[in-house]
Structure 1
Amino acid sequence: MDIPPPPPAPGHVPQPPQQWSPYRTPYGNPCAPPEPPKTNGLAIGSMVAGIVCCLPPLGLILGVVALVQIKKTGHRGKGMAVAGVVLSSISTLLVLTAIVTGGAADFWRGFRDAAGEAARTKSIDRLHRGDCFDAPGGDGLEGYVTDVRVVPCSGSHEGEVTGTFELEIPGPWPGEGEISAIAAERCWNIAGTYAMDTWAVPESVVTYYFAPDKRGWRLGDRSVTCSLSDDGDGTLDGPLLNDASMLDPHQAAYLGTANAVDGLLYGGPEADEVEDDPEGFRTWAIEVAAALEKGAEQLRSRTWPSVADKAVADRVAEFEAARKEWVTASEVTDDEDLFWTHHDAAHAALKTSTEISIREALVLETTPPKDYEDDTASEEGAAGDGTDA
């Protein structure tokens, strides 16, 4: 006898029986469609390698492996794999052909040369002391130069960097004149420490400098690059570097003193006449006198090789005699003729023969530049006149 089920409770709504499903659906969306098949990663890599053409066999290998995987997994990307295989096969054939015919060597040589040229090309403000360079276009250092090609100093070159410095001028653009005055003096002094034996430097070599223009100044450029260049044929043959590290202590000490004095002796105001800038000539005379006094003290206080003792002592006496003439010149800037009289007497006090004797004793260059040769000739002429009398 069947027992009927109990009557439903009041308010209860009967529910239909639920059917169990063996398939899972995405969380939160029981009605979502099935997830689409993924794209094979190797197929993507094969197509990219085929397009880029770097390592052509790589795209070919990736494409073949991708096709095998796609066949097993049903993933997408067959078209990309096929495209990668085709492109990579073409690239591989081209590379093999280039190797057989020598085209690859030509390509690599051209690439290497281009890369080397790019590495050697530098902006002027990125050069360093001791860098040798050529200006582009074959026009030398004339005109506006921003980029140069760095070359070995052992060969022919148009310029050789002696050093760099930053302009410490506050405020707006100071004008080309002020910058040029500072750059010319500083670069001349820097050259004196870079190539200390100035007699060993060819006479056609001059000091150049690369300074910021008005536009560069507004952009924050304050750097000055000093260099040496040949004012004759425009090229230097071999390095000019001859600093203290390449000299013995006696050579470096003497050249340091002599160059400091020469730097002021051959400077001076821009004006040609004393009456055009009497204060400038007065300041110049005072500075030269001070340099001669300091130079005499430096020469006197050092113990020199015995072979150089007499010549150095003579030079000290000449410095002191010249200093007196410069002191007097500084006091007579109101009289043009009198100033130049004492100026000439100061120069005459410094004998070229004494300079040659010191250099010979210290094993330095003994052939004087032309301006020194002229002094020597005048000295010999004066001595000859005295003998004849």
Structure 2
Amino acid sequence: MSLTEAAWGEEKDRYGGGARDWAPVPHRISGLAVAGVVAGVASIVAVLLIGLASLFFAVPAAGFGLAAVIQVRRGLRRGLGLAVSPLLLTVVWAVLLAVGLGGSAAAAKRYESVTGLRAGDCFDRTEGDPERPFIPAGVERRDCTAPHDAELLGWATTDDQRYEFRAYPGEALLSEWAAAGCRRIHRDVIIDPPTQPAGAHLRWYVPRETEWAKGGRAMSCYLSFDGERPSRPARLTSDRVTEVQLRFLVAVLDIRYHAPIALADGPIADRRTAAAKVAAGYSLLPSQLGRGPWPAAAEPAIARLAEESTEARDRWMTVAETRTDESFTEALAAVGPATPTDAELAARAALGLTP
């Protein structure tokens, strides 16, 4: 017996009669596991960017991960931790997707289209380009007794119906239509302009070209409160004023509505037109106030207000009849502020109206 055979015999005796038959250990990492990790990471990034569409990355990640685990368990590849990683990444993806969908559902419930609001509804505006009057993606409806930054007044329609079935008229023309229509609505629903919340401005939303193509013609008129957010409605409804109060407010409405327009910055032609309407309001005021009866406490102030109307009418008529910008400015300076006179304030107080 050779030395080699003797040594082999000793080995056989040492290990119980023969060398053990061990299965080969794989040396390669699963390529499916690597692909699954890449797809899993991509799915997490995608869910943050494109939401549900990230499913196209998550499904392959889960499939690659499952196949990689099977490979490792069968001993065909090594790297069980790497093989499980795509499955864990898929779980993370599912959690992020659920959170995102839940947030979207909450936002959809919280925000709604401004065209779905009713006249008199209050809301908070969403972020957008303040220089563009287009309808926003959504607004948050608010109770008018809670702080809010806008109140819907109504909807303007196109004056020129020839455009009803024609091409999109453009932002400029729509804004012109909205300005005219919304001013009429504003005058009709804000019957006591002096009591408007501070910082109130008349604004509007107009449809985009895509919305126009789908039949959207509504131009939403609303008050925007740029200063302190009010906690009361700006519109006056019949349940908030008495018949006597309403009669007085209608009598002075043209004066109170158009005087601030004439005194504010803007095109001289528009301001001159507003001055003419103030003068007309003062011309009609004595007959309007003569339609009593008025409460005894208010009669002296109302009589004094009617007496003052002739002089006020003449001052405003002078403004309206000016021919140059310089003469307009000079005549307007003689008119004074647009605030109610002492007689009007006394009448308001006697009628129980807010000063």
TM-score normalised to structure 2 length? 0.58
Residue by residue over 1:82-114, the C-alpha shift from the partner in whole angstroms, topping out at 9 and shown as x without a partner, is: xxxxxxxxxxxxxxxxxxxxxxxxxxxx99997
- What residue in structure 1 maps to residue 246 of structure 2? 252
Change (3 A) 1:131 1:293: same
Amino acid at match of 1:344: A
Amino acid at match of 2:333: D
The question of 1:355 aligning with 2:339 is answered: no
Residue by residue over 1:339-382, the C-alpha shift from the partner in whole angstroms, topping out at 9 and shown as x without a partner, is: 4443334447986212211111111112xxxxxxxxxxxxxxxx
Query: Map of 1:1-389 to 2, 5 A cutoff?
Result: 118-136=108-126, 144=134, 145-169=136-160, 170-171=162-163, 173-232=168-227, 235-268=229-262, 283-333=273-323, 335-347=324-336, 352-366=341-355
Helix, strand or coil at the partner of 1:364: coil
Amino acid at match of 2:280: A
Q: Which has the larger radius of gyration?
A: 1
Rounded Cα–Cα distance in structure 2 between residues aligned with 1:204 and 1:189? 20
Q: After alignment, is 164-173 or 265-274 more displaced?
A: 265-274
Change (3 A) 1:365 1:283: closer
On the 8 A contact 1:123/1:146 being kept in 2, the answer is yes
Rounded Cα–Cα distance in structure 1 between residues aligned with 2:271 and 2:193? 26
Amino acid at match of 1:365: T
Helix, strand or coil at the partner of 2:120: coil
Rounded Cα–Cα distance in structure 2 between residues aligned with 1:136 and 1:352? 39
Change (3 A) 1:149 1:281: closer
Helix, strand or coil at the partner of 1:229: strand
Rounded Cα–Cα distance in structure 2 between residues aligned with 1:132 and 1:212? 20
Change (3 A) 1:337 1:124: same
Change (3 A) 1:273 1:264: closer
Residue by residue over 1:41-69, the C-alpha shift from the partner in whole angstroms, topping out at 9 and shown as x without a partner, is: xxxxxxxxxxxxxxxxxxxxxxxxxxxxx
Rounded Cα–Cα distance in structure 2 between residues aligned with 1:184 and 1:273? 14
TM-score normalised to structure 1 length? 0.53
Unmatched segments (≥5 aa) in structure 1 = 1-109, 367-389
Q: CA deviation at 1:284?
A: 4.4
Q: CA deviation at 1:123?
A: 1.7
Aligned residue pairs total: 252
Amino acid at match of 1:244: S
User: RCO higher in 1 or 2 (8 Å CA, sep ≥ 6)?
Assistant: 2
Helix, strand or coil at the partner of 2:118: coil
On the 8 A contact 1:329/1:342 being kept in 2, the answer is yes
Amino acid at match of 2:238: A
